[in-house]
Amino acid sequence: MTILENKKNPYFFAPFGPTMGYYKMPSEMVDYLNNNMDKKLDDYSDNLVGKVSQELRFDNEIRNYVGKKLIKFIIDYHEYTKNRNSLGQNSLAKDKTPKLDVLNGWFVRQFENEYNPVHIHTQCTLSCVGYLKLPDGIEEEWEKDYKDHYPANGHINFIYGTHGQYTCSNFLIKPKVGDFYIFPSYLFHAVYPFYTKGERRSFSMNMIFSMD
């Protein structure tokens, strides 16, 4: 198990095969998303696997806002990946225009004892998670949980490949408000339950990035 701490912004990393990316969202973006969750948004839960209270679908305005805020970071993510995968030989074509298509997005409202089972995202190439709110008092729960040999409460777990002597296949992330992670849509992940009363609020999106 690995827990990512003390990250740069932005930060690209490969704890196993697929490249992941980290970005610290500006406070105005966090505030915008939290404030817009009060709109009358459709409940998207029937289309998703989460065992959570609500999963509210982004409208076009929210999707466009988030896409514009994240496009530069996602271009950098692709540049890093192309360079990494070619061992430094290739980079993105500078004469082509990047395009980010946010197919759908949704707020995830998770409360105590709820969870998200292991899953992937389909019909897209990229997915992500961004953290908007945590329950008051969850730090006390984490302090106790971190004394255990395998802390996991309220964390997101990414899984890829088979564990071995020289392989990391299990990657655990502790959520913090403002943290945003991007990853390939085929990467398995799950969210563990927590037991502090209150809301753990995040958002996810399905996206396709291309260079025209």
Assigned token pair, 87 = 């061992």
CA torsion sign, 94 to 97 to 102 to 107? Answer: positive
- For residue 208, is pLDDT > 60? yes
Percent of the chain with pLDDT over 90: 72
CA 126 to chain centre: 10
Q: How sure is the predictor about 16, in pLDDT bands with cuts at 50, 70 and 90?
A: low
- For residue 120, is pLDDT > 60? yes
CA 126 – CA 55 distance, rounded (Å): 19
Q: What is the pLDDT of residue 180?
A: 97
CA 208 – CA 157 distance, rounded (Å): 23
More confident residue, 109 or 39: 109
Q: What is the pLDDT of residue 17?
A: 78
Peptide bond before residue 135 is cis, with ω within 30 degrees of 0:
no
When the pLDDT of each residue in the chain is averaged and rounded to a whole number, the result is 91
CA 15 – CA 168 distance, rounded (Å): 7
Q: What is the pLDDT of residue 6?
A: 57
Q: What is the pLDDT of residue 1?
A: 52
Helix H segments across 111-173?
138-145
